[in-house]
Structure 1
Amino acid sequence: MSDIQLYGTLGCHLCEDAEVWLQHFFPMLQYDKVDIASDEHLVTLYGLRIPVLQIGDGVMDWPFDPSQAQSLLNQVSSPQPAKQQTPPKARRVFILGAEK
């Protein structure tokens, strides 16, 4: 599952508008369409608010704002700070049979 979800349902003309909006402003964006009708919890959360765009931890209700969406996308796509790695310990190598 992607970090980006578009919550909506079949027959929702605003949800269709939201998809067109996403294709216009973010044509390369990969997202999961989630039909809220299949889950009572999602209906409770988003039933009166759809379409809803969730990007990472951020949630946007319709109508979406391009600058806000870009800001949320930057947070999701920015690389997480790399864990600092400790350098390997130095080892001594002994070669058997070598002349002094």
Structure 2
Amino acid sequence: MLITLYSTEGCHLCEQAYGLLLDAGMAARVKVVDIAFDDALFSRYGVTIPVLSVQHLDDSISELGWPFDAAELAAWLDSNGIN
């Protein structure tokens, strides 16, 4: 399952979130999306990034917004069946 990290260039919180994903061994599953290039994404996430998102087979979406730590990330990954 692919994890989308909504981010933008120069966002130090986004870099921290990405680092937590790397530490969790999720590097190969992360797609970073820069919200600056999409008006709809910027409108939705402009003041809340970083945000993690996964889309399930039934088209439901689960998101985890900042702030989160390694334990919260691990719990979110587990609750979404991402190991």
Structure 1: tracts of 5 or more residues without a match: 78-100
Structure 2: tracts of 5 or more residues without a match: 56-60
SS at match of 1:48: coil
Report 1:81-100 matches (<5 A): none
Structure with the larger RCO, 1 or 2 (CA within 8 Å, 6+ apart)? 2
- Pairs aligned (count): 74
Distance 1:48 1:18, change over 3 A: same
Higher helix share: 2
Indicate the percent of aligned positions where both proteins have the same amino acid. 38
Tell me which structure has the larger Cα radius of gyration: 1
TM-score of the two chains, using structure 1 as the length reference: 0.65
Higher strand share: 2
TM-score of the two chains, using structure 2 as the length reference: 0.77
Structure 2 equivalent of residue 17 of structure 1: 16
Distance 1:68 1:39, change over 3 A: same
